[in-house]
């Protein structure tokens, strides 16, 4: 497992999604220093958040979801989920044609999305 901090575009997407969540529950680790690992999903961009308390950790519930067009116009669905302990678990990225995501929305990078 190779851990790394999220890129600026990943961070912008995650923070945008967290701000737009409609659930009353917010993740316990909403603004900690995240470490992530890339998931093998055909280079679409899914990531899993690292947790020091990994024992017994599993997918809990979806927190929020958004759809945006990739640079080539193909729809992309991003789903942010929590684990069974209420911490960020995954950012699942799915592109409709299963190709690699070219970029996250440009407006996310400057905070205007």
pLDDT digits (tens, 9 = 90+) for 11-30: 889 888 888 876 555 555 55
Q: Provide the pLDDT for residue 111.
A: 45
Closest CA to 94 of 72, 67, 59: 67
SS3 56: coil
Q: Provide the pLDDT for residue 86.
A: 87
Q: Virtual CA dihedral for 43, 103, 67, 97, nearest 10 degrees?
A: -50
Closest CA to 38 of 82, 113, 90: 90
75-83 sheet: strands from edge to edge? 36-38, 47-49, 88-95, 75-83, 59-69
| pTM attached to this predicted model | 0.81
As given in the structure block, the two tokens for residue 100 are 């690699």
pLDDT band at 3 (very low <50, low <70, confident <90, very high): very high
Quickly list DSSP for 65-85.
Answer: EEEEE-TTS-EEEEEEEEETT
pLDDT digits (tens, 9 = 90+) for 64-104: 999 999 999 999 999 999 999 888 999 999 999 999 998 88
Q: Provide the pLDDT for residue 34.
A: 86
Q: Provide the pLDDT for residue 108.
A: 56
């Amino acid at each position: 497992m190779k851990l790394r901090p999220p890129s600026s575009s990943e961070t912008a997407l995650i923070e945008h999604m967290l701000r737009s969540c409609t659930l009353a529950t917010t993740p316990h680790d909403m603004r900690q220093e995240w470490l992530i690992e890339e998931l093998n999903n055909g280079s679409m961009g899914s990531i899993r958040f690292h947790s020091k308390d990994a024992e017994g950790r599993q997918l809990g519930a979806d927190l929020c979801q958004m759809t945006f067009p990739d640079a080539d116009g193909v729809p992309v669905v991003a789903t942010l989920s929590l684990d069974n302990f209420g911490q960020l678990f995954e950012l699942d990225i799915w592109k409709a044609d299963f190709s690699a995501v070219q970029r996250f929305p440009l407006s996310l990078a400057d905070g205007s999305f």
